[in-house]
Each structure stands twice: as C-alpha cells, then as structure tokens.
Structure 1
Amino acid sequence: MLDLDAIDVEEIATALADQTDYEHRWLIDPQTGEVAFWTSDTGIDGENPVELDDLDLVLIDPLPSYVWYQDMVDFTHGISDRAAGERLSRSLQGKGAFRRFKNELYQGHPDLIAAWHALRGARARARAVQWLAEEGLIEQDAAQRFTRDHPDPSIP
C-alpha cells in the first residue's frame, strides 16, 4: 500500500479528468506512487515507444464526462444568485455544455470563477483519492479520512 501523503493527488485528478484521446494515457507506479505520462509515439520516457501491456504500471482511465458534468449542475443549483444560476443552467443544455458553461462563467460571472474552481478541484481530488482506494493502492481508511477532512467548499 502506498502512503497517501506521498502521492500527487492533483496529478491523479488531472489524469481522471483527461478526456482528450487515447493516443496518450496516464499511469501510476503501484510501488512508488509516481505518475507517468505515456504516448503511443514516445512511450513514457519521451523517446522510446513501448506498449502499455509491457509496463508494470496501473492505467488511470478517465472518469466518464457525466461525472464532471454533474459538478457543473451541482454548482449551478448551489449558487445563491438565482439569475446567474439560471443562465449557467441554460448553458448546460445539449451538446457543447462544457464549453458553453465555461464561456458563460468567464464572460458573464467572473465573480464566481474562484468558487467554481474550488468546488471542481475539491471534487476532483476526492475522486482521485477514492480511485486510489478502489484500485487498492491506498488504505480505505486513508481515503475516508481524506474525504472527511476535505469536504466540498461552500458555494456563494
């Protein structure tokens, strides 16, 4: 088992959120907790291609986009400014919701950007720790302590 304090939880969170493509992948060394970035062209060292199956590392598959979408929904419903919440909520309808939400937030409600980043970051870190526990890389007790000690921030 790895020590949670020795793992870069932010990096795991980034890997879990990475929806770009399968030409690159994130992996973690189950012995050290070190995160590696693999590409089909340059492997993990940036120079030598290697097959994923040839590595003794755990693949970090991204979480489905609906998980991250729910954060936007929860944020819009939690905002005390009903008008802002309604505009942000409308931006979530249909394809392109992530882009429209970001545009509406940054252009129409810059005062809410810090609160959005705080919520999204807190949830991403909590998901990263939960993923580590589910993969058997950290103790379940450590994951529960982290969740208890790092609740969602309040939404203005």
Structure 2
Amino acid sequence: MLPLDAIDLDTLVMALENQYMDGETFFWLDPATGRIELWGEEAADEADAEGWDVDERGGLRIEPVESHEVYRDMEDFIAGERDPKCRTRLQRAVEHSSPFRHFKDALYEFPARQTAWYEFHDAIMKRRAIEWLAEWEVVDRTEARAAIERLREPR
C-alpha cells in the first residue's frame, strides 16, 4: 500500500471526470508507484516495444464517474442553495436537455455561487478519488477515512 500523499489526487480526479475516452484510451494507476498514466495507442505501442502491459504491472484502469452521479451532485448543491432566485434558476437549468451545460450557464448568472459550486464539486470528487483508492487497496482504509473526514470539515 502507498501513503495517500504519494497519489496526485488532482490527476486522479481529472481521470475520474473524463467522460470522453473510448474503450481503447483510458487512464490507469500503477499501484506500486502511484503514477497515473494515459493509456492509448501510442502508450500501447511503447509498452509493447518494451515488453510489458498494464495488466502485468497490476495497473488499475480508472473508470470515469457515471454522469448520473454528477447529476446527483448538482441536485444536492441546488437543494442546499439558500438564495431562492439562484435555486430556482439552477433547478430549471437541470430540467432541460444538456443539464450539465445549462447548469454551468446558469451559474454564470451568480458568480459568488459559481465559486461555491466548484469548491463543493472539488471536495466531492476528492472524496470519490480517495474512496476509489481505498476500494482498490492502493491506500490504507484508515488513512483514507481520516482524509475524507478532513474534506467534510467546514472551512
């Protein structure tokens, strides 16, 4: 197992958020080093030439978070919004087609809440990243729980 600080959580979050990869291109984590790499045609060719592959190295494929989970995050944020005008506008935004785009567009009307959303979303995604690491036994579960609790504390 690795210490949590051996993992670049920002890179792991980015990999967990990346919904635009095809089946042949993905991010993976090397549990021996904590490095996160992009796997694609070029990386596969290089690995083949060097005589290794992701599975032999024990690499863990990083699957992106399902869009319904991110949608639920937006709903949770909206539910906690105190400004009724902002809450109503955001709620209407997610009821349209392309709710993610409409949500971000609606946030631009409320600059102070835009910052709050990004902080809220960042904390949720870091918790997911740490939970993912603990689930795959890359980091110690006790250390992971403590880190998640620190992320839940109000700032």
| The two structures share one fold, judged by TM-score above 0.5 | yes
CA spacing shift, 1:138–1:36, aligned 2, 3 Å: same
> Could you say which residue in structure 2 is the equivalent of 1:74?
76
Pairwise CA RMSD of aligned residues? 2.0
Does the 8 A contact of 1:2 with 1:33 survive in 2? Answer: yes
Does the 8 A contact of 1:122 with 1:152 survive in 2? Answer: no
Deviation at residue 24 of structure 1 after TM alignment: 2.2
> Could you say which residue in structure 1 is the equivalent of 2:6?
6
> Could you say which residue in structure 1 is the equivalent of 2:17?
17
> Could you say which residue in structure 2 is the equivalent of 1:92?
94
> Could you say which residue in structure 2 is the equivalent of 1:104?
106
Q: Which moved more, 1:19-28 or 1:50-59?
A: 50-59
CA spacing shift, 1:53–1:137, aligned 2, 3 Å: closer
Which ranges of structure 1 fall in alignment gaps of 5 or more residues?
none
TM-score by length of 1: 0.87
Instruction: Output the amino acid matched with 2:130.
Output: V
CA distance in 2, matches of 1:42, 1:55: 18
CA distance in 2, matches of 1:117, 1:153: 15
Does the 8 A contact of 1:16 with 1:61 survive in 2? Answer: yes
Does the 8 A contact of 2:96 with 2:102 survive in 1? Answer: no
CA deviation string 1:50-93 (max 9, x = no partner): 57556541101111111111111111111110111011011111
> Could you say which residue in structure 2 is the equivalent of 1:48?
46
Instruction: Output the amino acid matched with 1:71.
Output: D
Q: Which moved more, 1:12-21 or 1:119-128?
A: 12-21
Q: Which moved more, 1:17-26 or 1:28-37?
A: 17-26
CA spacing shift, 1:122–1:24, aligned 2, 3 Å: same
Does the 8 A contact of 1:122 with 1:153 survive in 2? Answer: no
Does the 8 A contact of 2:30 with 2:57 survive in 1? Answer: no
Deviation at residue 94 of structure 1 after TM alignment: 4.2
CA distance in 1, matches of 2:113, 2:88: 14
CA distance in 2, matches of 1:153, 1:120: 14
Does the 8 A contact of 1:119 with 1:152 survive in 2? Answer: no
Which ranges of structure 2 fall in alignment gaps of 5 or more residues?
none
TM-score by length of 2: 0.88
